[in-house]
Amino acid sequence: MLFDLHSHTTFSDGVLTPCELVSRAVGNGVDVLAITDHDTLDAYRDTPLQQDNIRLVTGIELSTQWENTGIHVLGLNIDLDSDSIIAAAKSQSEARLRRARRIGENLHKKGVDGAFDGALKLSNGTYIGRPHFAQYLVNIGKVDSISAAFRKYMGDGKAGDVKQQWAALPKIIAWIRNANGIAVLAHPLKYKLTRTRLKRLLDDFIDAGGQGMEVVSGQQLPQQTNDMAQLCEQRKLLASCGSDFHMPGRHWAELGRFAPLPGNVTPVWEHF
């Protein structure tokens, strides 16, 4: 069976609706799909969990900080009606909205009017992030492209670079586990940590109650997969895999298009 346990819809930063995402996953041969939108469960309010051609596993992707590095933790097979995960989504969404308001204030000081309202409208009132501000800057003619928006306004050290005040890692994991879910460290290679720091992150993650890690995240080199599998096995973590799909056209993050888990790890779905 083909499991893809990391994907996004229009309820966070994806471009497909939940129904479109499920349809594409079925077309790509995915048997089990988790929708893991950032800090929201709304995709599941819009999508029947019972599907004819695919099994849906409930999920969410929560953001936090570790040693000044932003990291993401997946909550898989969660109870959608749990007070814990509902509180998590509310807390994280409010933190994201506070950050967006600060970005809008900073851009106003730089002579950009209406940035918060403009970005909020582009986000359809749900997930709001720097890309929405960047698109607003393009729309009003402040810059010619998204990349230019990040260079001038939204990139590191610029007016739009406002750090998030997320809940701490132990709190994030507690929210997931109290919702009967499995806490999985998302795409560990994307944080670009040294080997020593990555090991320390995994140790801290485990100490905080983390249970699994993504051994496979989209298309990656076989050597990277084997390396992640070795770390996973050494630390007795459950192994997960997913595309981190956001939109069509990104072949490296296409639904179901990634290598299988190596045989020396314990798949996370054995505990669903």
| Contacts of residue 93, Cβ cutoff 8 Å, sequence gap at least 6 | 39, 40
Cα 228 from Cα 164, distance rounded (Å): 28
Q: Are residues 258 and 235 in the same domain?
A: yes
76 lies in some domain: yes
Cα 160 from Cα 157, distance rounded (Å): 8
Q: Are residues 68 and 180 in the same domain?
A: yes
Cα 223 from Cα 229, distance rounded (Å): 10
Please give the DSSP secondary-structure letter assigned to residue 218. S
Neighbours of 87 (CB within 10 A): 14
134 lies in some domain: yes
- Name 184's bridge partners: 74, 212
Beta strands in 169-270 (DSSP E): 182-185, 212-217, 238-242, 266-267
Q: Are residues 232 and 97 in the same domain?
A: no
pTM: 0.90
* Contacts for 259-263: CB closer than 8 Å, 24+ residues apart: 259/216, 259/219, 259/220, 259/222, 259/225, 260/216, 261/215, 261/216, 261/229, 262/215, 262/225, 262/226, 262/229
Q: Are residues 101 and 216 in the same domain?
A: no
> Which of 121, 154, 187 marks a domain boundary?
154
Q: What is the CATH number of the domain that holds 148?
A: 1.10.150.650
135 lies in some domain: yes
Is the torsion defined by CA of 156, 162, 163, 166 positive or negative? negative
Q: Which pLDDT tens digits describe the chain residue by residue (272 residues)?
A: 999 999 999 888 898 999 999 999 999 999 999 999 999 999 998 788 888 899 999 999 999 999 989 999 999 999 999 999 999 999 998 998 999 999 999 999 999 999 999 999 988 767 888 889 999 999 999 999 999 999 999 988 899 999 888 999 999 999 999 999 999 999 999 999 999 999 999 999 999 999 999 999 999 999 999 999 999 999 999 999 999 999 999 999 999 999 999 999 999 999 99
Q: Are residues 16 and 50 in the same domain?
A: yes
Domain that holds residue 142: 90-154
Helix 130-139 to helix 115-122 angle (10° resolution) is 110
For residue 125, the model assigns a pLDDT of 67
Q: Are residues 139 and 174 in the same domain?
A: no
Q: Return the structure tokens found at 180.
A: 């009967």
**Letter string b/e over residues 71-85, b meaning 16 or more CB atoms within 10 A of that residue's CB:** bbbbbbbbebebebb
Q: Are residues 74 and 36 in the same domain?
A: yes
Q: Name the nearest CA neighbour of 181 among 30, 34, 16, 2.
A: 34
The number of residues in the chain equals: 272
Q: Are residues 55 and 120 in the same domain?
A: no
**DSSP letter string over 85-142?**
HHHHHHHHHHHHHHHHHHHHHHHHHTT-TTHHHHHHHHTTTS---HHHHHHHHHHTTS
Q: How many domains does the chain have?
A: 2
